Amino acid sequence: MADLLSLSAVEARAALDAGDVSAPELTGAYLAAIEETGALNNFVAVTADRAMEMAEASQARIKAGEAGLIEGIPVGVKDLFCTAGVASTACSKILGGFTPTYESTVTANLWREGGVMLGKINCDEFAMGSANETSAFGPAVNPWQASDGTDLVPGGSSGGSASAVAARSALLATGTDTGGSIRQPAAFCGVVGMKPTYGRCSRWGIVAFASSLDQAGPFSRTVADNALMMQAMASHDLKDSTSTDAPLPDLMAALDKGVKGMKIGVPSEYVMDGMDSEVVALWEKGQAWLRDAGAELVEISLPHTKYALPAYYIIAPAEASSNLARYDGVRYGLRVEADSLDDMYGETRAAGFGDEVQRRIMIGTYVLSAGYYDAYYLKAQKVRRLIKQDFDTAYETVDAILTPATPTAAFPVGRKVDDPVTNFLNDVFTVPANLAGLPGMAVPAGLNADGLPLGLQILGRPFDEATLYSIGRVIEDAAAFDAVPSRRAGGA
Amino acid sequence: MSVDKATVARIARLARINVPEDRQEELVGELNGILDWIAELDEVDTSAVEPLASVTGHGLPRRSDEVTDGNRVDEVLANVPETAGGFFVVPKVVE
């Protein structure tokens, strides 16, 4: 079975069409892998029966010559996506047992294209976190271990998705990215993660965190698989008024375009104090690879970079405090009984939300409250415009931008930090793309001295995901990243 | 700007989260840590900058005002903690 797990999605599609493997065989191999890697806690629910039914149906469509883009490919779904008839909890106690009667647009698109749902995947509670440690189901673990055997976080919030794809217990997985929640865990786990342009994927049926920033995107082990999944999940959706009708280019065709003649920006503001020297070295290596492949590397300036994180930590909590007002114990999820309606709300929300979520709701409530709205919220929105203008100016001269994906490699599970701000710094390179609505991709590019993966980030113009796949493919080829995480190489 | 315990209690009330007293104490420090850090934005001159709320670059799409969905009482109530006669049930609010 080990052979089946080593196939990429593109290879598996070819093997399925050729009849070398059946969809139920492939799904069976992944269900077995989920069991083997149970200690990683990356799945919160395995829908084995449904998976086998979907795989049988896929097999029938393959035989009939009606295969979709990802027909028969096993997919893990972040628990933030609503899936009809399957509990969808955002890994929060307040949504314990919530079983939607409807399917999110993104997952519906994936199933229409033949994807096979393996189950629901662990994430930070309401996608708030950068280490998958705020989940009500406990932390998901990175299949990569430190050389001394210490367990590491997979990143977050889509930590379980990155962990599962890296551990070969899902061939593809969905994620969402509000401030880096796809790209940072992808980098920590050595897989490919894409946050498309805001509006590219419908947000309908995805539990909302910060609506002006949230975007869904794919996780995969290869750049080509990522393009394939992106092609299947994106769509224009009338049920999401921010969804775009801009046509999605042929992403698979972009894979082999190369970077000859492209201008790629290197922002001087992304050199930060206290940055891991190995991250800097890898970034330079990435620039050399692209130069060798015929691109022109250009130093650029994004002067408001340092203000992106503080602006984000006003805007995201403000939107979250509004979005999460709906969890009141009346219509769904947890309810703590009390004598008055107000106390029922207050007790339900105190018991149902974890510490990090409560803290962000409180910050959001404060910055939106009378007397503080202009000083905080409006100020942050003005800074957001300046950050977007930085990128607009840069894209007058460059086609894309190359940065590190994260300031460090993955850190130990349970690392104690004294103040919440330290945790926020994980997202320093990823947050600006969310504020500006731009597409960004994390690609594994090497290992550090401790044998842990490090990633590079490529940022593009709005709706120009295709260029990111062209560049990502060049980096993937040059890096020849083929290392297998320690908890899979030596058995889980 | 910084918050004190009374402000934390007021925010908790606005957010409808019954935060216990001892936790309010801790939140004063945690929230002030975050607020001190975001105060960095004061360095930026935004006097001539319009706020940016949406990056879509297009306005809200319009469609004709027709009912396109509805009559899903059973689905709407499928996850309700307490229901009676097709309604949501909450503690009494009017004496």
The number of C-alpha atoms within 13 Å of A233 and in the hemisphere containing its C-beta is 33
Average pLDDT over residues A129-155: 96
Q: Which residues of B touch A304 (CB under 8 A)?
A: 44
Closest Cα to residue A95, out of A319, A323, A315, A316? A323
C-beta separation of A231 from A343 below 8 A: no
Q: Strand runs (DSSP E) across A370-464, as ranges?
A: 400-404, 440-447, 453-460
Average pLDDT over residues A407-421: 84
Distance of alpha carbon A441 from alpha carbon A456, whole angstroms: 8
Average pLDDT over residues A314-325: 98
Quick: pLDDT tens for A157-200.
999 999 999 999 999 999 999 999 999 999 999 999 999 999 99
pLDDT (0 to 100) of residue A308: 97
The better pLDDT of the pair B54, A315 is held by A315
Residue A318 has pLDDT above 90, yes or no: yes
Q: What are phi and psi of A458, to 5 degrees?
A: -115, 125
Residue A148 has pLDDT above 50, yes or no: yes
Domain membership of residue A176 (yes or no) is: yes
Domain membership of residue A129 (yes or no) is: yes
Q: Distance of alpha carbon A70 from its chain centroid, rounded?
A: 19
Domain membership of residue A140 (yes or no) is: yes
Structure tokens at A158: 């889509």
Quick: pLDDT tens for A208-265.
999 999 999 999 999 999 999 999 999 999 999 999 999 999 999 999 999 999 999 9
DSSP annotation string for A7-48: S-HHHHHHHHHHTSS-HHHHHHHHHHHHHHTGGG--EEEE-H
Q: What is the mean pLDDT of chain A?
A: 96
Q: Work out the percent of chain A whose per-residue pLDDT is above 90.
A: 93
pLDDT (0 to 100) of residue A491: 47
Quick: pLDDT tens for A1-26.
448 999 999 999 999 999 999 999 99
Q: Active site residue: A78, A130, A163, A169, which one?
A: A78
Structure tokens at B76: 């709407």
Structure tokens at A11: 């290879």
Provide the CATH number for the domain around residue A62: 3.90.1300.10
Domain membership of residue A86 (yes or no) is: yes
Burial class (CB in 10 A: 0-12, 13-18, 19+), A146: middle
Nearest to A388 among B14, B46, B55 (CB): B55
Quick: pLDDT tens for A359-374.
999 999 999 998 999 9
pLDDT (0 to 100) of residue A386: 98
- State the ipTM, two decimals: 0.96
Helix (H) or strand (E) holding A220: strand A215-220
pLDDT (0 to 100) of residue A361: 98
* Domains contained in chain B, CATH given: 1-42 (1.10.20)
Domain membership of residue A318 (yes or no) is: no
Q: Work out the percent of chain A whose per-residue pLDDT is above 70.
A: 98
B30–A359 CB contact, under 8 Å: yes
C-beta separation of A322 from A328 below 8 A: no
Low-confidence ranges of chain B (pLDDT < 70): none
Distance of alpha carbon B27 from alpha carbon B8, whole angstroms: 7
B18–A347 CB contact, under 8 Å: yes
Sign of the C-alpha dihedral, residues A269, A271, A274, A279? positive
Active site residue A277: no
Residue A435 has pLDDT above 50, yes or no: yes
A384–B54 CB contact, under 8 Å: no
CA angle A350, B4, A356 (to 5 degrees): 35
Q: Which residues of B touch A347 (CB under 8 A)?
A: 18
Q: What domain range includes position A49?
A: 2-258+477-489
Domain membership of residue A160 (yes or no) is: yes
Active site residue A78: yes
Q: Distance of alpha carbon A483 from its chain centroid, rounded?
A: 21
Domain membership of residue A164 (yes or no) is: yes
pLDDT (0 to 100) of residue A273: 78
Q: Which residues of A touch B76 (CB under 8 A)?
A: 331
B40–A306 CB contact, under 8 Å: yes
> A117-131, A277-291, A478-492 — which is least confidently predicted?
A478-492
Q: Distance of alpha carbon A366 from its chain centroid, rounded?
A: 28
pLDDT (0 to 100) of residue A489: 60
Domains held by chain A: number: 1
pLDDT (0 to 100) of residue A418: 67
Domain membership of residue A371 (yes or no) is: no
Average pLDDT over residues A43-55: 98
